[in-house]
């Protein structure tokens, strides 16, 4: 009889259909949308386009979902949030002269709903929820096969830049404000006719703030020291001979390129910690995006139409 009754009950339920429990609602206030819109206009000088606006709204909804998730996990009871909540409660404290612990003041702030309107509390809780979700991935140790596959698919992320090693002879443009390039060209001709090695030629130039003989440097390093024009001109200079004059922010230079080291990706054993970190960060980002989709599905989300 019990089995028959259960079967009949089940058939009745299936016939009527199960009533889904009412989901909690998230309502994004129009005032908050207005703030986001005005901030965008101030930053970029124009109203957001349709796709830009959709991205801004998505970010706002994600923040609210994370905030609600943090409340569900009672993250407002953690020390950082409690300190902020205690500060808020102290402003409305009826007896401010009496000392009360942060936990008590924070509980009062939540009871009064003061946390709902405080943007700092919302940011603390949303950021905490985001870190908690990502930590599920970041605290794990990826296996070698997965890391090797990631490195093979993304070598550009770990590439060491090309480098050059040079010796230069400077002709100071501040010391010789006119005819600087011609003076440098004449000095180059003298060095070439004398077949002077780099160590012999450096004494013929002007004193420079940049050492005459430099170690291996990247293009960025060279730009920082000499300027963009020098670095760009240097790319066409051959190895093992004198080239120039090459312009810089200091004047002109005669350059001997000792060697060029091409860009390369170090072996995994040499950069394993960095690859692990980048790989886990990628997985954490993907997991956060997926978890946000799952959390969004737990709410009825209401976003006012623009202008309302």
Q: Name the class of domain 163-261.
A: alpha beta
- Residues linked to residue 232 through DSSP beta bridges, in sequence order: none
Strand 300-302 versus strand 251-261 pairing type: unpaired
Stretch 159-166: mean pLDDT: 96
Confidence band (pLDDT; 50, 70, 90) for 3? Answer: very low
Question: Distance (Å, rounded) from C-alpha 46 to C-alpha 307?
Answer: 16
What's the pTM value of the predicted model, to 2 decimals?
0.71
pLDDT at 104 over 80: no
pLDDT, residue 304, reads 86
In 3D, which of 207, 174, 169, 199 has the Cα closest to residue 185?
A: 169
Q: Which sign, positive or negative, has the C-alpha torsion 65, 66, 71, 74?
A: positive
pLDDT at 293 over 90: yes
pLDDT, residue 169, reads 97
> In angstroms, what CA-CA distances link 10 with 6, 22, 130, 151, 305?
6, 22, 41, 54, 43
With a CB cutoff of 8 Å and minimum separation 6, the contacts of 260 are 162, 163, 164, 239
Mean pLDDT check: name the lowest of 79-83, 86-90, 170-174.
86-90
Domain with CATH 3.10.50.40 in the chain: 163-261
pLDDT, residue 81, reads 81
Comparing 220 with 307, the larger pLDDT belongs to 220
What would the two tokens of residue 281 be? 């960060």
For Cα atoms 88, 93, 97, give the angle at the middle one, nearest 5 degrees: 120
With a CB cutoff of 8 Å and minimum separation 6, the contacts of 198 are 167, 213, 256, 258
pLDDT, residue 217, reads 97
- Residues linked to residue 25 through DSSP beta bridges, in sequence order: 300
Stretch 170-181: mean pLDDT: 94
Around Cβ 293, how many Cβ atoms within 10 Å?
11
- Residues linked to residue 2 through DSSP beta bridges, in sequence order: none
Q: Kindly report the average pLDDT of the chain as a whole number.
A: 88
* Residue pLDDT, tens place only, 242-256: 999 999 999 999 999
With a CB cutoff of 8 Å and minimum separation 6, the contacts of 295 are 65, 66, 69
Confidence band (pLDDT; 50, 70, 90) for 118? Answer: confident
Stretch 279-297: mean pLDDT: 96
């Amino acid at each position: 009889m019990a089995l028959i009754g259960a079967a009949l009950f089940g058939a009745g339920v299936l016939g009527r259909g199960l009533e889904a429990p009412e989901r909690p609602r998230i309502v994004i206030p129009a005032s908050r949308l207005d703030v986001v819109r005005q901030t965008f206009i101030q930053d970029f000088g124009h109203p957001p386009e349709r796709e830009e606006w959709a991205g801004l709204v998505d970010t706002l909804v994600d923040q609210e979902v994370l905030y609600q998730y943090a409340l569900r996990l009672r993250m407002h009871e953690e020390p950082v949030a409690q300190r902020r909540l205690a500060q808020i409660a102290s402003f409305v404290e009826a007896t401010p002269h009496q000392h009360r612990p942060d936990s008590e003041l924070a509980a009062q702030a939540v009871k009064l709903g003061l946390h709902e309107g405080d943007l700092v509390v919302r940011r603390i809780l949303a950021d905490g929820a985001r870190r908690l979700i990502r930590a599920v991935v970041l605290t794990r140790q990826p296996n070698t096969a997965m890391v090797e596959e990631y490195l093979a698919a993304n070598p550009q992320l770990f590439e060491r830049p090309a480098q050059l090693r040079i010796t230069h002879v400077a002709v100071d443009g501040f010391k010789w404000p006119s005819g600087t390039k011609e003076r440098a060209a004449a000095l180059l001709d003298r060095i070439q006719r004398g077949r002077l090695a780099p160590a012999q030629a450096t004494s013929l130039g002007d004193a420079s703030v940049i050492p005459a003989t430099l170690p291996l440097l990247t293009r960025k390093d060279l730009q920082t020291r000499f300027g963009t024009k020098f670095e760009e001109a240097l790319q066409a200079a051959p190895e093992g001979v004198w080239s120039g004059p090459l312009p810089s922010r200091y004047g002109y230079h005669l350059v001997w390129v000792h060697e060029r080291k091409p860009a390369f990706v170090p072996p995994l054993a040499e950069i394993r910690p960095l690859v692990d970190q980048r790989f886990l960060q990628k997985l954490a980002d993907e997991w956060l995006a997926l978890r946000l989709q799952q959390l969004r599905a737990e709410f009825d989300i209401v976003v006012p139409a623009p202008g309302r």
